Amino acid sequence: MYDFPPYRPPSEANSALIRVTRGCPWNHCTFCGMYKNMDYEVRPLDEIAAEVEMMGEMFPFSRTVFVGDSDSLWHEDILKVIKMIRKKFPDLDRITSYARSLTLVKKDPDELEALNRAGLTRLHVGLESGDPVVLKHIRKGATPEIMIRGGQKAKKAGFELCYYVLCGSGGEPGWKRHADGTARVINAVGPDFIRLRTLSLVQNAPLYREWQSGTFQPVTPLSRLRETRRLIEKLKVKGCELASDHVTNYLWSQQGIVYHGVDGMLPGDRDHLLESIDAAIEHIKERNDILDANIMVQMEYIQGL
Count the neighbouring beta carbons within 10 Å of the beta carbon of residue 98: 26
Give the model confidence (pLDDT) of 261-278 as tens digits.
Answer: 999 999 999 999 999 999
Spatial contact of 239 and 265, defined as CB atoms under 8 Å apart: yes
Q: Are 141 and 102 in contact (CB under 8 A)?
A: yes
Q: Tell me the C-alpha distance between 148 and 127, whole Å.
A: 10
CB contact at 8 A, 260 and 222: no
Of the pLDDT bands very low, low, confident and very high (cuts 50, 70, 90), residue 1 is low
Asked whether the whole model's pTM tops 0.95, one would answer: no
Residues 6+ apart with CB under 8 A from 42: 20, 21, 74, 75, 76
Query: What are 194-217's pLDDT values in tens digits?
Result: 999 999 888 889 999 999 899 999
CA distance 216 to 185: 24
Q: Which helix (H) or strand (E) holds 227?
A: helix 221-234
Split at pLDDT 50, 70, 90, the class of 57 is confident
pLDDT, tens only, 93-110: 999 999 999 999 999 999
The one-letter amino acid at 208: Y
CA distance 261 to 168: 14
Residue spans of the domains in the chain: they are 1-98
Q: 23: which DSSP letter?
A: S
CA distance 157 to 32: 29
What tens digit of pLDDT does each residue of 123-167 get? 999 999 999 999 999 999 999 999 999 999 999 999 999 999 999
Four-way CATH pick for 1-98: 3.30.750, 3.30.1380, 3.30.460, 1.10.3470: 3.30.750
Rounded to whole angstroms, the Cα distance separating 171 from 254 reads 25
Q: What's the first-to-final CA gap in the chain, in angstroms?
A: 29
CB 100 within 8 A of CB 71: yes
- Residue 98's DSSP bridge partners are 124
Q: Which of 222, 228, 219 is nearest to 183 (CA)?
A: 228
13's enclosing H/E stretch is none
